[in-house]
Amino acid sequence: MEIKQTKMMIKKFAKLFFIIDFGVVLFCILSNNYLWLINTQVAFISSLFISLATFLSYKRNVAKRLENIDYDATLSNDRDEIDKIDDPYDLYSEDEINEKTEFSAKEIKDIIKEEKSKIKQNSIKNTIYTTTSFISIYRVVGYALLVFGFFSLSNNGIFSAMPYLAGLFIVPLSMLCAKFILK
């Protein structure tokens, strides 16, 4: 079911991408400006490829993380140290547990240091997990396509910055429009 929803979402966005791109192509042809047409299409194709590759790599990263979640540990009623400080009388839990209710200043500082070290370890772990999404082969190919397209246009003397940037902004503009249209 999840794959079907993802495909439907990609199809909706792709439809919008190509509708806006078709408008740009139509504008370029009607104005008889083929330099704009070439620049916008090279930029659009590479931008679209990068965006799709980014979406797919982060989707795969999230799916991989969901597979590795220990639901039993997540659903346990163990209170961490910050909860004990924030709610010392355990007013918000359903179980009645008698624990130490007063903490000294030194104990609070030690608890905070311990929790900060856990956060730091989690951020390093998070960086390692997201590196696979950042260095996805699809994204690397997309950026290589962007650079190759830029240099190809530049070496042939047909590069123009404004249409190239317009072509790059088709995908983000489509995403912004989709945010408001496809609610």
Helix residue ranges, H only, 68-101: 71-75, 81-86
Q: What is the pLDDT of residue 71?
A: 62
CB atoms within 10 A of CB 133: 18
Q: How confident is the model at residue 144 (pLDDT cuts 50, 70, 90)?
A: very high
Count of CA atoms in the C-beta half-sphere (13 A) of 39? 19
| Residues 6+ positions from 77 with CB-CB distance below 8 Å | 93, 95
CA distance 30 to 37: 11
Q: What is the DSSP letter of 94?
A: S
Say whether pLDDT at 161 is over 80.
Answer: yes
In one letter, which amino acid is 119?
A: I
pTM of this structure: 0.64
Return the residue matching tokens 């806006």: 20
Q: Which residues contact 136 (CB under 8 A, 6 or more apart)?
A: 53, 54, 56, 57
pLDDT digits (tens, 9 = 90+) for 97-136: 445 567 777 887 888 888 777 676 666 666 766 676 667 7
Output the pLDDT for position 148: 95
d(CA 174, CA 181): 10
d(CA 12, CA 15): 5
Output the pLDDT for position 125: 66
* pLDDT at res. 82: 65
Work out the angle at residue 172's Cα, subtended by the Cα atoms of residues 177 and 57, and round it to the nearest 5 degrees: 115
pLDDT digits (tens, 9 = 90+) for 51-69: 888 888 888 877 877 787 7
Q: What is the C-alpha separation between 171 and 173, in angstroms, rounded?
A: 5
- pLDDT-above-70 percentage for the chain: 71
pLDDT of residue 100: 55
Interhelix angle 170-181/2-30, rounded to 10 degrees, is: 120
Q: 86: pLDDT confidence band, cut at 50, 70 and 90?
A: low
pLDDT at 38 over 90: yes
pLDDT in the model for residue 58 = 80
Is it the case that residue 165 has pLDDT exceeding 70? yes
